[in-house]
Amino acid sequence: PHFTECMSRDLETFRCWWSPGTFHNLSSPGELRVFYLKKISPTSEWKECPEYNHLNRECFFDANHTSVWITYCVQLRGQNNITYFNEDDCFAVENIVRPDPPVSLNWTLLIVSPSGLSYDVMVSWEPPPSADV
């Protein structure tokens, strides 16, 4: 079992997805549980995923469970409490942000150089509907 991705669209929430890999006995909903650790202090404790979507093998962290500038580690645990963890499963939310792309992307040709090798263009766009602007 392993995490396939953790991603935030807005720096305020994030999601992690996992795969049972070749462990077909762990593919049923609820067979694997997600735990996370916020590395705030040496006494920080592992907590279970705040919100599951088992059909998508997804754990959602709402704004109450998301903090920037803090390292998170995530791990998978089977029903028998076997832990599947990789040091690469640690990240800071600001490093996993992939915002939605801009919309209404346009460009206008302003100037063509006499040689025809250089161009000046103006690019404009609107923020995506999900942007908090």
The pLDDT of residue 88 = 81
121 pLDDT band (50/70/90 cuts)?
A: very high
Task: Tell me if 133 sits within 8 A of 103, measured CB to CB.
Answer: no
Q: What is the pLDDT of residues 20-38, one digit of tens each?
A: 988 877 878 788 999 999 9
Computed over every residue of the chain, the mean pLDDT equals 92
Q: What is the pLDDT of residues 34-92, one digit of tens each?
A: 999 999 988 999 999 999 999 999 999 999 999 999 999 999 999 888 888 887 899 99
The pLDDT of residue 22 = 84
Query: Domains of the chain (ranges plus CATH)?
Result: 2-95 (2.60.40.10), 100-133 (no CATH)
Cα–Cα distance, 71 to 94 (Å, whole number):
10
The pLDDT of residue 27 = 78
Cα–Cα distance, 65 to 60 (Å, whole number):
9
The pLDDT of residue 52 = 97
